[in-house]
Amino acid sequence: MCIFATMKSKEEILHSYYSEGKDGIPEISADGLLKAMEEYSEQSFNAARDTNGNSKTFPAYNDYLSNLEKLKPRQDDNIRLIADNVVSQFLPTDPDAKDFSFSFKNEGISYTALYTKNAQGFWQYDSFQ
């Protein structure tokens, strides 16, 4: 049995969420479009679901979505990545400095990254505020 035989096309899914507007022209609401996208995503997931032997890696679409949430980088990781990419612009000129900090904005929020000098004399990310 082919799993693709029972799949709806994108157009079929979208068509099921259209309604007739006041002027008689078919239209789709933002909520309807979102539902159509979710339906298509779930259908695609079911067609391409990974299997591990006889057991499915993700028994349901919601299990897959919650696993994706776990894979998203945490805010701490994002702040560290940003700080590590711009730290060279803020290095102190004093060779005896043991720590320093600098401020930057990300998505309109101000952060202060704190760095300390390690035993080898390299600047190492410590934390942020």
The residue from 45, 71, 97 where one domain ends is 71
For residue 21, the enclosing domain spans 7-71
Residues 28 and 60 placed together within one structural domain of the fold: yes
Q: What is the pTM of this model?
A: 0.45
pLDDT tens string, the chain, 129 residues long: the values are 344 447 788 888 888 898 888 888 888 888 888 998 888 888 888 777 766 666 777 778 888 888 777 766 666 788 888 888 888 888 888 989 999 999 988 888 899 999 999 989 889 998 888
Q: Which among 45, 30, 33, 26 has a CA at the least distance from the CA of 13?
A: 33
30: CB partners within 8 A, 6+ apart: none
Q: Which among 81, 82, 73 has a CA at the least distance from the CA of 104?
A: 82
Cβ(48)–Cβ(75) under 8 Å? no
